[in-house]
Structure 1
Amino acid sequence: MPSSRPPYRVAIIGTGGIAHAHAEALTHLSERARLVAVADVDPTRAAEFADRFSVPHVFSDPQALLESGKLDLVHICTPPQTHAPLASLAMRAGVTALVEKPTALSLREMDELAEVQEQTGSRVLTVFQHRYGAAAVRLRRLATAGVLGRPLVATCETLWYRSDEYFDVPWRGRWDVEGGGPTMGHGIHQFDLMLSVLGPWSVITALADRQARPTDTEDVSVAAVRFDNGALATVVNSLLSPRETSRLRFDFEYATVEVEHLYGYREEHWRFTPAPGHEELAALWADGDEPDIMSGHRLQIEAVFDAWDTGQEPGVSLPDARRTLEFAAATYASAFRGVRVAAGELEGDDPFTLSMDGGAVPWDRVKEALV
């Protein structure tokens, strides 16, 4: 969407791997935004990043970055433990924070962010970029309009592979730093997309285990879910799967809609199958003129700017991201307590509102000595 306003002023905190995806996205949006500053505790890494992406100002302290000049948006690309504190810092500086998933490590932290948001009037947005691919937007539109009929069955699978060496990075595989295993850090993108299509969930029954990896957290979880609209779904999150794939399937009354990809999808990754007697829906699915762009950061960042340009609230809002985080917390609570967990059940001082492990992990910790 073209805009006549001056480019938005953007900064990035944290210049590790995922920050490169943010900076590349901003490069594609250079007519609408300027990356004016970066901050990182590693000055060499920050300088190299700034040189690569022609960023004029480099800081070692996030507070100094936030005080350096007017900013419209700050991307938080640091390890998960720091997401909520940095988002609060940004809001108190009057800057919207776009935070990599997970927004926070617990529901309690999410609620504390909501309090700061209420106090400051600034916003926290969460990176769930797979919501913004053209086919996913189309699917939500058709589902909301009811032309696909009632949603009946869904499967959501994040089947990835991470070796033991992957967990050599000290912050990986720790409840207190990363927040969880594949349920929090990997599969969350796929089940967030599922939730964006199917709407509110009502109850979860789950299992989780640490089967092979040297980690405090689970390396696989499996959940069965009922939604408010009656749909039933299965969700699998794994780091033990040599043939990697990310797969979603929605069976509606009148059509099946599927996507299989790995870290991002295009139109070619989707398949639409109408039910007998509803063949006309195939033409409706194919009737889209949106650019066929990979479902990456660029589309979500662009959607933020579009919303601002038109005076609307951008996604993914804090309440919306909390619903996805609650899904993860309920998965853990069900798995470790051995009970069904209903939406809204985890509240107050319930241990699973305070941390994703809820103090109930049924295996020995292996990374306590790491810092």
Structure 2
Amino acid sequence: MSSHGTDLRPASAPSPIRTVLVGCGEHARVVNHAALSLIPDIEVVAVCDLDPTRARDAARQFGNCPHFTDLGALLSKTNAEAAVIIGPPHVHADIAATCLEAGLHVFVEKPLFTNLDDLARLSELAAAQPGLNISVSFNKRYAPYICRIKEILANESFGKPSYLYAKFAGGYRNGPTDLLRVGAIHYFDLARHLFGDIARVSALPYQKQAGQAHIAVNLQFASGAVGNFFLSSLGLWSAKGAEYLELRGDRNFITLDNLREFTWQKPPIAIRDSGSTHQAGIEVPAPAEYLEPNYSNISMLEYQSNHQNGYFARIEAFVADLRSGRQTGPGLGDAERALKTALAIETSMASDGAYVDLQTAATPQPALREPA
């Protein structure tokens, strides 16, 4: 709307998507709700949280829309098309199922589910209602420098992607299951997004106590590329380098630190004969490409954390999918592969590092050995 109250959108512009927000905790309001408020194609028509104060405060952000503490009441009294769900991980699947049964498209913060039973239940609902969009956030795919990496990997000069290293080392977790099925699945999805399907994994843990562990993972992709994950809940979220990526191709590589500091060491400009029998050639180095956000003008959306972490662009993609009737963003199948990677790592840890094949039809759901 203009300052005079005139709607400047073209007459043919579709109406905003009527959306309910389920879950109004700190992460939901500070991150997801903030991004949603900047997208004109979303109209928030109601919010819901078990805590009435949180629900009321969230409603104020969206024009004092109706707020509820009971999901059933919200769904029965609200005419909505979509639901955005951000809550404790263990309730995501139940809330998503309820919203799907009510005929709503759903966008769910990761993880969509944490066990195979919930995967099976949501898969049945998806098959019964194929017209509904089931989206999972996996927002790191949409971070600007991840998008740049995706472009470079498709560039002939990068060569065949051959090695990936990913570090996810955040703060305290409730246990190794929480680290793998809730936190690190971001990087299981990201590795697959960049390098293709993971074929097999081998993992060994160091556990100080429940909720504090290092996990070292060897992996091989279906393409033949290899890699490593370093996953940890012995780190600190506030520490630099809590998240890190390195990707290698033929004679060049990319690094990305905390989604913010990007380097591409490009292939050599030329390689000349060394005149030596023990050195194949002498490289004429190419300039490296360095990218880092310029925080001198942080009022611009492009410099905000919401944009740098991919939240804003991910929700934009969800809206675009609803408009087109197609699903291009990560959904049920991507959430399944991320969960099964976590389960395979758990199985390997419980088997003293034995390799576990992710390409077999059955995926066990192991019981982890807790530290002594």
Superposition TM-score tier, normalisation by shorter sequence: 0.7 to 0.9
Query: Match of 1:132?
Result: 142
Query: What is the aligned counterpart of 1:247 among 230, 244, 249?
Result: 244
Please tell me whether residue 86 in structure 1 is matched to residue 95 in structure 2: yes
State the secondary structure of the residue aligned to 2:37.
helix
Q: Corresponding residue for 1:166?
A: none
Q: 1:225 is matched with which residue: 214, 219, 224? A: 219
Distance 2:358 2:286 in 1: 37
Question: Is 2:170 the partner of 1:173?
Answer: no
Cα RMSD for the two superposed structures: 2.7
Q: How far, CA to CA, are the matches of 2:200 and 2:22 in structure 1?
A: 37
1:151 pairs with 2:161: yes
Whether the 8 Å CA contact 1:223–1:235 is kept in 2: the answer is: yes
What does 1:192-207 align with in structure 2 at a 5 Å threshold? 192-207=189-204
Structure 2 CA distance for aligned equivalents of residues 19 and 55 of structure 1:
17
Amino acid at match of 1:38: V
| 1:238 counterpart letter in structure 2 | S
Q: Which residue of 2 aligns with 1:22?
A: 32
Give the deviation of 1:363 after TM superposition. 3.2
Change (3 A) 1:174 1:96: farther
Q: 1:177-230, CA deviations, whole angstroms, 9 ceiling, x for partnerless residues?
A: xxx232223222233222210110111000234314xx4x56332211000111
- Tell me, yes or no, if the aligned pair for 1:220 and 1:238 is still in contact at 8 Å: yes
Structure-1 separation of matches of 2:153 and 2:165: 16
1:57 CA drift (Å):
1.0
| C-alpha contact 2:204 2:349 (8 A) present in aligned 1 | yes
- Could you say which residue in structure 1 is the equivalent of 2:267? 275
1:334-353 pair list within 5 angstroms: 334-338=348-352, 339-345=354-360, 347=362, 350=364, 352=365
SS at 2:84 equivalent: strand
Distance 1:47 1:140, change over 3 A: same
- Partner in structure 2 of residue 169 of structure 1: none
Shift of 1:291: 5.6
TM-score of the two chains, using structure 1 as the length reference: 0.81
Q: d(CA) in 1 for partners of 2:216 and 2:287? A: 32
Instruction: Write the deviation string for residues 66-94 of structure 1: whole angstroms up to 9, x where unpaired.
Output: 23233222111111111111111111111
The residue that corresponds to 1:310 in the other structure is 324
Q: Quote the residue 1:167 is aligned against.
A: none
AA aligned opposite 1:234? N
What is the identity, as a one-letter code, of the residue corresponding to 2:223?
Answer: N
- What letter is aligned with 1:318? L
Whether the aligned pair in 2 keeps the contact of 1:90 and 1:96 (CA below 8 Å) is yes
Q: Does 1:208 align with 2:200?
A: no
Question: Counterparts of 1:190 and 1:157 in 2: how far apart (Å)?
Answer: 8
Q: 2: distance between equivalents of 1:73 and 1:87?
A: 11
Answer yes or no: is the 8 Å Cα contact 1:182–1:218 preserved in 2.
no
SS in 1 for 2:77: coil
Unaligned runs of 5+ in 2: 1-8, 271-284, 293-300
Amino acid in the other structure paired with 1:185:
V
- Relative distance call for 1:361 and 1:218 in structure 2 (3 A) is farther
The answer to whether structure 1 residue 191 and structure 2 residue 188 are counterparts is yes
The CA distance in 2 between the partners of 1:347 and 1:53, in whole Å, is 45
| Residues 106 and 276 (structure 1), Cα distance of their counterparts in 2 relative to 1, 3 Å cut | same
In the superposition, relative to structure 1, how do residues 305 and 280 fare at CA in structure 2: closer, same or farther (>3 Å)? Answer: farther
Paired positions, count = 331
Alignment partners' CA distance in 1, 2:360 and 2:153: 28
What secondary structure does 1:313 align onto? coil
Q: Of 363, 366, 369, which aligns to 1:361? A: 369
**Aligned CA distance change for structure 1 residues 142 and 55 (closer, same or farther; 3 Å):** farther
Displacement after TM superposition at 1:322 (Å): 1.0
Distance of 1:345 and 1:40 partners within structure 2: 40
2:72 counterpart of 1:59: no
- Report the residue type matching 1:77 in the other structure: I
**TM-score normalized by structure 2?**
0.81
Q: CA deviation at 1:345?
A: 3.6
Bigger mean CA deviation after superposition, 69-78 or 144-153: 144-153
The percentage of counterpart residues that share the same residue type is 23
**CA distances 1:95-152 after superposition (whole Å, capped 9, x unpaired):** 1111111111113321221111111222321111010123322322342454421111
Instruction: Determine if contact 1:23/1:53 at 8 Å carries over to the other structure.
Output: no
Alpha-carbon distance between aligned partners in 1 of 2:230 and 2:198, rounded to the nearest angstrom: 16
Q: Is the 8 A contact 1:98 1:127 kept in 2?
A: yes
User: In the TM superposition, what is the alpha-carbon distance from 1:346 to its structure 2 partner?
Assistant: 6.7
